[in-house]
Amino acid sequence: MRRAAFRQALAAWIAVMAGTVVHAQPSASTSRPSLSGCQTTQGSVYFDFEGASRSACYVEDERTLSIVVTPEHLPPINPSPWYAFRYSVPKGQKLIVNVRYIGARHRYAPQWRGSGDLSAFSVKVAHDKEAVSITLPPGEGVVSGQPLVTSSHYDQLLGQLAKSGRGSRLILGRSHDGRPIEAVRLGNADAPRLVVLLGRQHPPEVTGAMAMDAFSLTIARLVSSGAIDGKQFQFLIVPLLNPDGVARGHWRANLGGVDLNRDWGIFNQPETRAVNHWLSLLPAQVRPVLMLDFHSTNRNLFYVQGGKAGAQGKAFLATWLGGKENAFAGYPFKIEPRDANAGSGTTKNWFNATYGIPAYTYEVDDDSDPVAVRAAAEALAQNLIPSLFFALKE
């Protein structure tokens, strides 16, 4: 990357963090960075749709555009450098887009959706993994670090969960941007045992969202069929806890610049506060018995309670996950016990410390096979309540 271009990109990043606007001045040589997109005669790149990354774009030459992918706050925790852009390339032309990272290294392989010759789409990751070069075919399309799963998907999912599970759709609160924090409740409102399912605290973690979709839909079918007794068990399902971060293409934080998975027990943010408020209004006879928080990382694993887990927690772990690490085709996983650390603000720790219940982080590999992810999630959902019921008798 040219020194001058890097300085300009860095200036654009500082402007983004400060909330100012940088206007594009494209030319035949390197242009000033723009936050809305950039173009040459060879093609164009824009960030004008839900889920697009908050990136600066500049022209390196007529055939090459670069976007600078930056975190919404510093320092980024467990960097998840999300990028998503729309492009257009005229017939007979070819465009190269360099995705350059600040504060992170390459994590997500580009996902392409569009028109044109797929064989002309190519990707080259830099040796230091601080950039990736993407060659785009003529036509129009969208490139993103993971499949785009945005509000329309969740509107459909919530409706499907409520309908198939004979549940009710709820608005728990609203985000900084006024977006609804939506949930579905399955089972009777006075059922004494509550299972909480949470997802998408971190916007780019789409494989975890895929697992939660399959898991939740299976639970809904089991409740509707009577295989799960809705008079004994109820479920609060919140599949999109960070709607602002997803809509705005954030790496990890909400619009308040906070990692929501560090705000539990603190409740400075409207998203976590909305869930906590709903829990605080539960009838006296209703108590959470389990929490699952769906995420993505570089492998399939479950973060669970360690040596401090009680007898019921150990019985549930042994029955639900024990011995199944290689039971699902294409989806091996590991179990990593971690005791809660007071004040860490993670969902897992807060639910365990507050209610003394199993509270697990369900992590899915970034590159897992979607078919295997769904199959494993469905199987684990099938066995969830039998395992929990067994543990509660201990």
The pLDDT tens digits of the residues spanning 211-240 come to: 999 999 999 999 999 999 999 999 999 999
Nearest to 393 by CA among 289, 295, 294: 289
Tell me, what DSSP letter sits at residue 344?
A: -
Averaged pLDDT for residues 275-295: 98
Confidence tier at 28 by pLDDT (50, 70, 90): very low
Portions of the chain given CATH number 3.40.630.10:
151-392
What is the C-alpha to C-alpha distance for residues 328 and 380, in angstroms, rounded to an integer? Answer: 10
What pLDDT, on a 0 to 100 scale, did the predictor assign at position 1? 44
Which run of H or of E encompasses 186?
strand 180-186
In the prediction, which pLDDT does 83 show?
Answer: 97
Mean pLDDT along residues 58-64: 94
Reduce the DSSP state of residue 89 to 3 states and report it.
strand
Per-residue pLDDT, averaged over 250-263, amounts to 96
What is the pLDDT averaged over residues 174-199?
98
Note the pLDDT of residue 31. 56
Quote the pLDDT of residue 264: 97
Report the pLDDT value the prediction gives residue 361, as an integer from 0 to 100: 97
Interval 346-372 mean pLDDT: 96
The whole-angstrom separation of Cα 351 and Cα 288 is 9
Specify the range with the lowest mean pLDDT, choosing from 82-86, 116-120, 250-254, 331-335: 116-120
Model pTM above 0.85:
yes
pLDDT higher than 80, residue 149: yes
pLDDT of 259 above 80: yes
- In the structure, what pLDDT confidence band is assigned to residue 18 with cuts at 50, 70 and 90? very low
d(CA 108, CA 82): 7
For the segment 304-321, the average pLDDT, to the nearest whole number, is 93
Indicate if the pLDDT at residue 192 is higher than 80.
yes
Q: Which of 34-38, 182-186, 309-313 has the lowest mean pLDDT?
A: 34-38
The residues, ordered by sequence, that sit 6+ positions from 20 with a Cβ below 8 Å of its Cβ are: none
Q: How confident is the model at residue 392 (pLDDT cuts 50, 70, 90)?
A: confident
* Closest listed residue to residue 195, CA positions, set 153, 225, 167: 167
Residue type, 260: L
Contact 198, 238 (CB under 8 A): yes
Question: Which among 35-39, 340-344, 378-382 has the top mean pLDDT?
Answer: 378-382
Residue bearing the bigger pLDDT, 70 or 211: 211
CB neighbourhood size of 201 (10 A): 28
The CATH classification of domain 151-392, taken from the options 1.10.10.10, 3.30.70.890, 3.40.630.10, 2.60.40.10:
3.40.630.10
**Average pLDDT for 115-133:** 91
The radius of gyration of the chain's CA atoms, rounded to the nearest angstrom, is: 22
How does the average pLDDT of the chain come out, rounded? Answer: 91
CB-based contact 207:177 (threshold 8 Å):
no
pLDDT at 20 exceeding the cut of 50:
no
Q: How far is CA 374 from CA 217, 290, 303, in A?
A: 10, 21, 19
Burial class (CB in 10 A: 0-12, 13-18, 19+), 111: middle
Q: What is the pLDDT of residue 76?
A: 76
Question: Letter for the amino acid at 227?
Answer: A
Instruction: State residue 26's pLDDT score.
Output: 36
Confidence of residue 22 (pLDDT cuts 50, 70, 90): very low
Q: With pLDDT > 90 as the criterion, what percentage of the chain qualifies?
A: 81
Looking at residue 302, its pLDDT comes to 98
